[in-house]
Amino acid sequence: MTEVTKKRPEFRNINIFKDVRTYRLPLAGWVSILHRASGMIMFLLLPFVVWLFDTSLSSEISFARFSAAFSAGLGFVPGGLVKLVALGLIWAYLHHLIAGMRHVMMDVNHDLVSKDFGRQSAAVTLVVSIALTLVLGAKLFGLY
């Protein structure tokens, strides 16, 4: 070995108080954490989704009440907050779906599993899920 190489730090046991502030998680790691978080959000908001579905399909009167929840609100909860919760649910669904397809694609074709593919597919996952969320959010908030 002719050139001097810089010794890279090894993290065998990460100390939560010392190392977490300086640890740089790769993009694929963020997508993986967000995949888990979006699954949890969808699970926790499942009663809200069931209520949305039931109210929208029960009758014309319940559909009018359902539509009013997004403009006038639900009791003490303002309509804007209902829209934000729905937008969070939209993001969670889209991110979970796209990240899940990314994971399945890597599981099916092991030749794809590399550091470069992980970084690129994580970036595509974030860009596509955020772009679709912005488009559907614009529709939800009445921008088009």
Could you give the count of Cα atoms lying within 13 Å of 45 in the half-sphere of its Cβ? 20
Q: What does the pLDDT read at residue 2?
A: 54
* Average pLDDT of the chain to the nearest whole number: 88
The full set of domains in the chain, from first to last, is 27-140 (1.20.1300.10)
**Separation CA 31–CA 104 (nearest Å):** 14
Element (H, E) at 50: helix 46-58
32-45: average pLDDT = 94
**74-91 pLDDT tens trace:** 889 898 998 999 999 999
Q: What does the pLDDT read at residue 31?
A: 95
Whole-model pTM? 0.79
**43-56 pLDDT tens trace:** 998 988 898 888 88
Residue 72 has pLDDT above 70, yes or no: yes
Place of tokens 């009167």: 61
Give the other-Cβ count within 10 Å of 97's Cβ: 16
**Separation CA 45–CA 58 (nearest Å):** 20
Q: What does the pLDDT read at residue 33?
A: 93
**Separation CA 78–CA 93 (nearest Å):** 23
Residue 1 has pLDDT above 60, yes or no: no
- Using an 8 Å Cβ cutoff, are 63 and 56 in contact? yes
